[in-house]
Amino acid sequence: MAEPQARPSGRTRRARPRSAALPGAIGVAPARPSADEVDWRGSVELNTAHCTIVVIDVEGFGRYSRTNPNKIRIRRGMYRALERAFAAAGIPWGVCQYSDLGDGVLVLGPAAVSKTPFAERLPGALAEELAWHNGAHPQQEHIRLRLALHAGEVTYDAHGVTGSSILDAQRLVDAPALKRALAGTSAVLATIASSWFYEEVVRQSEGGDAGDYRPVDVVGDDFPVSAWVRLLFASAPRR
């Protein structure tokens, strides 16, 4: 037991343990790391690679009319449609990297995979898969997707991926202009291509259907850019 310490008034108090003796306690800051444990100083060596970037988002995924079982079936249908559409487009799903976004998916295609099938065959194949899913499920489990196409440098770290190109693609898929374009129609898929992807891939591809795209302005915080939007409608499912 600690020795009593005298106060100026003559009364005594017992010394309490220092807060450092309680690491992790609520309201108590942990001890600072030593200088050699800090890894944020100096330059960072980036591990980057050029990728085709695809961001998928389910329209109205969290709407009140959809229960959790509805959402699970929608997610299953989304992944099934993606994998089958990638196969139909000739894009090897197994060599792509994907991250689940809860109500969507981020897919990264390596530079070794041609960007042409992403422009020429993926949107149509995906729309066909969505038509098949919607024909087999009730209204609450119908899927309408927004799809962003972009490409650029992606940075890898211990926690996953990041980079301005990924953030740009996510801004595109959330663009109000794209949401309005899909909301006002019966289309099952709204595709938005960045200006770079449209000019360098879609417009240069004979099967890219460049004439079906329309220019839109994507305006956000520090992000005033133009992009190209295309709507795809459901055709009669073959299965």
Q: Looking at residue 24, what DSSP letter applies? A: T
- Say which CATH topology domain 47-232 has: Alpha-Beta Plaits (3.30.70)
Q: How far is CA 162 from the centre of its chain?
A: 10
pLDDT of 45: 73
Q: Which of 135, 125, 141 is nearest to 58 (CA)?
A: 141
pLDDT of 220: 67
- 3, exposed or middle or buried, with CB in 10 Å at 0-12, 13-18, 19+? exposed
Residue 234 corresponds to which amino acid? Answer: A
3 state DSSP class of 189: strand
| One pLDDT digit (tens) per residue for the chain, 239 residues | 555 555 555 454 555 544 444 444 555 556 665 555 555 566 667 888 999 999 999 999 999 999 999 999 999 999 999 999 999 999 999 999 999 999 999 999 999 999 999 999 999 999 999 999 999 999 999 999 999 999 999 999 888 899 999 999 999 999 999 999 999 899 999 999 999 999 999 999 999 999 999 999 887 666 667 899 999 998 755 55
Q: What residues are paired with 192 via a beta bridge?
A: 148, 229
Alpha-carbon distance of 3 to 188, in angstroms, equals 77
Helix, strand, coil distribution of the chain in percent, nearest 5: 35, 25, 40
pLDDT of 19: 46
pLDDT of 157: 87
Q: Where are the domains of the chain?
A: 47-232
What pTM does this model have? 0.80
Alpha helices in the chain (DSSP H): 68-89, 116-120, 122-136, 164-173, 176-183, 195-197
